[in-house]
């Protein structure tokens, strides 16, 4: 980061790391924590792969099987929190937003980009989380009808840099992502 006191530089650096997570399997932002609230009101968190990071629309995208607990949670409460820890940069990125679930013909282009080896993540039979008789009592057919794109339209981003002097800033959609410094 070139200027530690510049909110715009801090914001751009975080988005650069998120975009890198989309294309670089070794980047810290490749696998992120994704939290939802279950239909019964309990918090749930899991690791997902970041598939798109669009700064102009403040949108992060992940993919899922339509029969997962996270999709059920999002149908009830379409909001999520996302977390990235980048140890090389000493940077924590926390974001929250509203989630749109897209499937069917709307996601044909994304499905076409999913490698064959990864397509088996969408169509597990029985559905993910279902109790089974033994460790391998399931099948993993690729099923495009179970492929769902989760578009997370961010409403708030909180950045914490844990360098020699800690820095923290909060950015919100409502003020055009201008950002404010906060006590770390």
**Residues in contact with 74: Cβ distance below 8 Å, sequence separation at least 6, in sequence order:** 36, 80, 99, 101, 150
d(CA 101, CA 123) in angstroms, rounded, equals 17
pTM listed for this prediction? 0.94
Alpha helices (runs of H) in the chain, residue ranges in sequence order: 7-23, 69-76, 108-113, 116-119
pLDDT in single tens digits along all 184 residues of the chain? 457 799 999 999 999 999 999 999 999 999 999 999 999 999 999 999 999 999 999 999 999 999 999 999 999 999 999 999 999 999 999 999 999 999 999 999 999 999 999 999 999 999 999 999 999 999 999 999 999 999 999 999 999 999 999 999 999 999 999 999 999 9
């Amino acid at each position: 980061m070139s200027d530690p006191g510049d909110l715009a530089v801090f914001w751009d650096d975080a988005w650069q790391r998120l975009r890198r997570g989309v294309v670089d399997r070794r980047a810290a932002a490749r696998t992120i924590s994704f939290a939802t609230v279950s239909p019964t009101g309990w918090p749930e968190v899991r690791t997902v792969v970041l598939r798109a990071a669009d700064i102009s629309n403040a949108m992060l995208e992940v993919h899922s099987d339509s029969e997962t607990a996270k999709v059920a949670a999002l149908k009830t409460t379409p909001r999520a929190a996302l977390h990235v820890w980048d140890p090389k940069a000493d940077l924590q990125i926390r974001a929250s937003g509203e989630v749109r679930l897209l499937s069917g013909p709307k996601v044909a282009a994304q499905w076409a980009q999913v490698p064959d080896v990864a397509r088996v993540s969408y169509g597990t039979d029985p559905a993910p989380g279902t109790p089974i008789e033994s460790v391998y009592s399931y099948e993993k057919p690729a099923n495009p009808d179970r492929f769902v794109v989760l578009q997370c339209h961010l409403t708030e981003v909180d950045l914490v840099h844990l360098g020699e002097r800690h820095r923290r800033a909060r950015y919100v959609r409502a003020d055009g992502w201008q950002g404010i410094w906060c006590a770390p």
